[in-house]
Structure 1
């Protein structure tokens, strides 16, 4: 399941993605019956994979694509100034891709690594809390998925292309093209094209803020670093033309709701110690 997310296999053959989920569930069923924390890896991976499958169809559910309302909200919030236009006019030059552009794109792309790296760390170092982390991450994404179906919303770069926010550029295209054009196009085709109007809320911001909420409770020493990561992610998303501030706020709200649910409903499992085989034999004898 994880491998097919970065390819077009599940897009070209829709049935294949759902078949993988069914096969994975059948293979994991014996493990799911055990009271071991690692069974939550199935919930984590399958939950994110099914989210990815359904996200591709969110713009085909019949709801009209919205363009104007986040522009109006951002301008109201910033007293008539559009933050994406303001940032790009001052710091972006399409003729001279600079360090800031690369750092912003790197921050954006770090989203595809950072949450899963933290998941591995939690599983290794704080295993009994892993069910809570899995529910927090998957729950945050699924709350966002609901909004994708209800209010499919165009991001700033898309709004610019249809004439609603003239002057905004998709900086990621410039940076990706300067690094390796064909590789970037293939990666975007796999991760972005399935739904270009899944902007409300920002899942990048939602999951990043969920990591911070997790850190406040379970990794207090790293909480300031995670909060700084949230701030850098927020500025990068707006600067790159990927999201409005409205999208960021909605994503943070999804993270808070998922965190409250995870704290209340996710179990903290402590696996019983396993007895050595010879000890068990002596007890039986």
Structure 2
């Protein structure tokens, strides 16, 4: 009886379990490098959420230096994942520099956005009007919670969309990353040039009497200490970075991106932008003028991203690999 199968191998060959071949050193190094690259981006994110870089300023700059060294090989490799360094690193550096934008000696502006909003609304201040109509500090209601939830969704929505873009069709991720970072950096430049007090701050100074910071009331009604810690990590480094509204700029930039690349999502993001605008004004976080300049920053960043960010071609369809994707 023959023990040789038609394939030319001994019978039972497929049941043999051979030890796996050792992984090539180059592959192991690549995986370690990828883990280190991901780790440094996560460390940047964690340092913002935990205020580590604020308590120890050297930590932030050290993280930037280490990240630059770890991600330098990606510049030569030209893989799409290098745009995660642009995205996370760009936002992290923006956060670092934003904290210094009110320490340049440039006087903080208070009056000009108040005058503009009153001119635009025929003598009525929109923040003061909205709060008089809707806000009761003795009774926090649905509108207050919804407005604060919309405001804080800013810290999740663009990053969730970034992950979705990368997973679903990463050919468009370079443009998205450049759009988000460019929008924030345009706003950052204005923070240095025209440090501006938001409406709630102007209210505390007496320049906009009657305006309150609704978010403080809502946060205190939920969990005062948790709210204080979270605000200290994300908002405290610079309380006069009102012009322009980065919340409005980034939200509207998401709509501009979706209008071209995901048209079905665009109307929802436009509605989200409208709700964000109303929430920011009602909460006393921004003037209407801040919103308009934020929208202008989004448009400018979109034009730049459309011109300079690489739009990767459709992956070539190979007979043996019809599901090929751009290199990660």
| TM-score normalized with structure 1 length | 0.94
Q: Distance in 2 between matches of 1:270 and 1:36?
A: 14
- The correspondence of residues 46-65 of structure 1 with structure 2, limited to 5 A, is 46-65=89-108
Of residues 236, 251, 258, the one that matches 1:208 is 251
- The correspondence of residues 181-220 of structure 1 with structure 2, limited to 5 A, is 181-220=224-263
Q: Distance in 1 between matches of 2:86 and 2:304?
A: 16
Q: Secondary structure at the match of 1:59?
A: coil
Of residues 28, 38, 45, the one that matches 1:2 is 45
Q: Distance in 1 between matches of 2:312 and 2:174?
A: 8
- The correspondence of residues 78-227 of structure 1 with structure 2, limited to 5 A, is 78-227=121-270
- Structure 1 residues 52 and 34, CA, compared in 2 at 3 Å: closer, same or farther? same
How far off is 1:271 after superposition? 8.5
Q: Deviations over 1:118-147 (max 9, x none)?
A: 001111112111000000000000000000
With CA pairs under 8 Å and 6+ residues apart, which has the higher RCO, 1 or 2? 1
Aligned to 1:262: 305
1:38 pairs with 2:38: no
1:66 pairs with 2:93: no
Q: Distance in 2 between matches of 1:171 and 1:274?
A: 55
Aligned to 2:283: 240
Give the aligned length.
275
Q: Secondary structure at the match of 1:65?
A: coil
1:231 pairs with 2:270: no
Q: Distance in 2 between matches of 1:33 and 1:182?
A: 47
> Higher helix proportion, which one?
1
Aligned to 1:281: none
Aligned to 2:71: 28
Q: Distance in 1 between matches of 2:268 and 2:52?
A: 37
Q: Secondary structure at the match of 2:81?
A: helix
What is the Cα-based RMSD across aligned positions, in Å? 1.3
Q: Distance in 1 between matches of 2:314 and 2:134?
A: 52
Q: Distance in 1 between matches of 2:118 and 2:130?
A: 14
Aligned to 2:23: none
| TM-score normalized with structure 2 length | 0.82
How far off is 1:32 after superposition? 2.7
How far off is 1:14 after superposition? 1.0
Aligned to 2:295: 252
How far off is 1:101 after superposition? 0.3
Q: Point out where structure 2 has 5 or more consecutive residues left out of the alignment.
A: 1-43, 319-328
Q: Distance in 2 between matches of 1:274 and 1:263?
A: 26
Q: Distance in 1 between matches of 2:283 and 2:315?
A: 48
Q: Secondary structure at the match of 2:140?
A: coil
